Structure 1
Amino acid sequence: MTRKPEQKRGPRRPLSEPNHQRAASTPSDTIMPTTFLYSNCADAPSAVQDELQAASAAGYGVDPQHVFWEVAPASVPALQRPRLRALQHQAQPGDAVVALRLCSLGWSVPEVLATVRRFRLLGVALYCVQLSRDDLASTTPPEAVEVLRAVAALEGATRSVRVRESLAAAKAMGRQVGRPPKHTPEQRHAILSALSAGYSVSETARRFNTSRQTVLRIRAAEPLAQRAAAVAIADADADVEESATEAATE
């Protein structure tokens, strides 16, 4: 019987990878973003449940374990509220935070804008059901945020005008404007006398147990006071002269 010639074998194929090595080489599962609900308006668990249902009806599905709520007073800035601070630490970039009412994000327009800026820096989307369907923390501010900015600017301008008007009215009535002076007129006169006698600003500050800045302010204000006194004296002299003239003509 004729024997068949042996076929030359090729190189041995490598063994297949173990299961755990194959699993390691496959891409990991993508982590799904989390949606949180935050409230500073709900004052009881039943109210929180109502807000959960309202958020769900608005299209935001939130797991009850991802709810952060508290009743912080208006005197506490929004970003310093304990539960909102905890939410900032837990939320990851790509997550979303939903608030039902605008007051949960702050008790003033500047406070709301500060909260929006904070979540924008964290990379966390921020929604307010009461205000808009847009992401308030988007890098391209939506119209709702632009409106809030305009309102904040208007409030700031209004405050400035009112302060100026109040100061002008107080000055017209002869009232003291600003902080009360730290030194009495006698002390200010003594400080100016020391400077006139040749003492340096530092030496004068040490003598009167005050700061160099205070001595400099008193010295800088002296020419203004002298000019004001000179004007007052001139006005008084003019009044006296006018009265004398009127008396002579009569």
Structure 2
Amino acid sequence: MAIFGYSRVSTGQQTTENQKMEIEQSGFKIDYWFSDDGVSGKVPAGKRPQFAKLLEKIRDGETLVVSKLDRLGRDALDVLQTTRHLAERQIRVVVLQLGGTDITSPAGKMLMSMLAAVAEMERDLMVERTHAGLARARKEGKQIGRPSKTTPEQRIEILEALGRGESVSSQARRYSISRANVIGIRETALN
């Protein structure tokens, strides 16, 4: 069974040589190397060109070695999804940063469960911060959402035209907006 090595650096000025050297010095004889050079850590693992090629080439039951956990994804959730996908294929995933732990082993699965809890907390905190920021912005009187395609004067004109019996479609054409926009203006006025 083959052993695959994977490394990634964010910028073209960086090199993956240190990661490769660390993996080789840990005693692994790598059969196939894949490196994403100049690929941001913000890119999900599956969308990284070389990692995607690695996933196509690696066979069930083989081994993947990385120097650090963050090489397997952009955040805790992406790392968790990537490792679950690999575990489903019985691919052994060794992370040197974690003392050479195979994160598909029982101990590694426990570690990944803790990571999943952290990822869930991370998501919950992000939602909480987003809601708090929106509430603060509303309180400060800031416009939330997409800017209106019509001015207050145009909305009054649309309501008056609709009141005279003109169609929603005619108003949409007149102001170069969608029918849904015209209907939204009418519903907002009714509430």
| Common fold: TM-score over 0.5 | yes
Which residue number corresponds to residue 37 of structure 1?
5
Aligned equivalents of 2:139, 2:19: Cα separation in 1? 53
Larger RCO, structure (CA 8 Å, separation 6 or more): 2
Which residue number corresponds to residue 53 of structure 1?
25
Is the 1:37–1:52 contact (alpha carbons within 8 Å) kept by the matching residues of 2? no
Aligned equivalents of 1:148, 1:178: Cα separation in 2? 33
Trace 1:1-250 onto structure 2 (pairs within 5 A). Answer: 33-41=1-9, 43-45=15-17, 47-54=19-26, 56=27, 61-63=28-30, 65-71=31-37, 72-120=39-87, 122-131=89-98, 133-136=101-104, 142-224=109-191
Identify if the C-alpha distance between structure 1 residues 74 and 44 changes in structure 2 by more than 3 Å, giving closer, same or farther: closer
Number of residue equivalences: 184
By how many angstroms is 1:87 displaced? 0.6
> Which amino acid is 2:114 matched to?
V
5+ residue gaps, structure 2, are none
Q: Secondary structure at the match of 1:37?
A: strand
> Which amino acid is 1:103 matched to?
D
> Which amino acid is 2:119 matched to?
A
User: Who wins on radius of gyration, i.e. which is larger?
Assistant: 1
By how many angstroms is 1:47 displaced? 4.5
- Displaced runs of 4+ in structure 1, greater than 3 A? 44-47, 120-123
Q: Secondary structure at the match of 1:67?
A: strand
Task: Give the RMSD, CA atoms, in angstroms.
Answer: 2.6
Is the 2:103–2:112 contact (alpha carbons within 8 Å) kept by the matching residues of 1? no
> Which amino acid is 1:107 matched to?
R
Aligned equivalents of 1:46, 1:164: Cα separation in 2? 42
Is the 1:191–1:204 contact (alpha carbons within 8 Å) kept by the matching residues of 2? yes
Aligned equivalents of 1:167, 1:70: Cα separation in 2? 37
By how many angstroms is 1:122 displaced? 4.7
Deviating more after overlay: 79-88 vs 41-50: 41-50
Aligned equivalents of 2:25, 2:179: Cα separation in 1? 63
Compare the two structures and name the one with the higher strand fraction. 2
Identify if the C-alpha distance between structure 1 residues 201 and 62 changes in structure 2 by more than 3 Å, giving closer, same or farther: farther
Deviating more after overlay: 98-107 vs 114-123: 114-123
Is the 1:48–1:69 contact (alpha carbons within 8 Å) kept by the matching residues of 2? no
Aligned equivalents of 2:151, 2:84: Cα separation in 1? 47
